[in-house]
Copies of this chain bind each other. A is one copy, B any other.
Amino acid sequence: MKLNVSAQLDYNISSASTLILNIQALRTQEQKILHEEFIVSESDVKIDELTSVGGENRMMRLAVPKACKLRVNYKATVDTSYQINNYRKLTEEPISKLDPEILPYLNPSRYCQSDKLYRLAAHMFGDIDSPFAQVIALTNWINTNILYLSGSTNSQTSAFDTVTEQAGVCRDFAHLGIALCRALTIPARYFTGYAYKLKPADFHACFEAYLGDNWVLFDATGLAPLNGMVKIATGRDAADAPVSSLFGNVRGTGRLISCELAEDDFKPYYYFGNKFEGLSYL
């Protein structure tokens, strides 16, 4: 499916600074970049394209030599593809067979303190016998119990807060989903991307659970169809896959994100929990 995505980011920079932006669509076997441009408003900015360890994320490092107002424009046309698998017969993946590169996604992380949620997760979801059904159940629980409320949280809010305070934004919904999965011994990671039909338009955050050798996408906010995403990055949580890391006297002053279909045909796909289907981007 073809999508046009764009991000316009404005920064007020008071002295020499470095920005690391993680806003480009990921290049994978199944997510093809048909066209892409990355433009900065100042000619003396040194730009460096980086790839994270394991190759999973693309980052642009901008060395800005002096004070300025900087505008970054990113545009891309992306051809995405995903698969939908049936997990009805999936049983719990024994830890003893898990690939070592998956194991870190069982560990607690900055915003996903799964080590504090074991008993709670076991009480609420431990009796469900299929891991897929556990993730669907916890996603639904988050969707039902956590209030989506702009401005209710900040960059320090973690899953341990959200499980009790019960309000947050997409990032908080994702962190709680990840933490509950890991507490149930299901590997899970953070996913950022562009999302078709997300309102108001912005970067989106979801999570992926590792089920039956696939990273299956879940969105506890339910705010956008799962099949209208363009993947930017994955990581352990938002600390690991931030849209921007700012070093120096830099202040974000605005952003404008869009994600539109570049073709006509689109059937929105959501989970409803009555089927055992899961969607994966590759």
Q: Residues of A at under 8 Å CB distance from B?
A: 18, 20, 46, 48, 50-54, 59, 61, 63, 94-96, 100-101, 103-104, 106-110, 113, 115-117, 119-120, 123, 145, 147, 155-156, 160, 163-167, 185, 239-240, 242, 245, 247
Contact = CB atoms under 8 A, between A and B. Distances in A.
* Identical copies in the complex: 4
Contacts of A96: 18, 46, 48, 61, 63
10 closest A-B pairs by CB: A119-B166, A63-B96, A50-B100, A18-B95, A95-B247, A107-B239, A108-B110, A18-B96, A53-B101, A108-B239
Contacts of A242: 107
A165 B119 contact: yes
Contacts of A240: 104, 107
B94 A18 contact: yes
B166 A164 contact: no
A100 B110 CA distance: 20
Given A18-B95, A96-B48, A164 B104 contact: no
Nearest to A109: B110
A64 to B, nearest CB: 9
A226 to B, nearest CB: 26
Given A61-B96, A103-B245, 18 more contacts: A20-B103, A48-B96, A50-B100, A53-B100, A53-B104, A61-B95, A104-B240, A107-B110, A107-B240, A108-B110, A109-B110, A110-B110, A113-B156, A116-B164, A117-B164, A119-B147, A123-B166, A160-B164
A167 B119 contact: yes
Contacts of A185: 247
A163 B166 contact: no
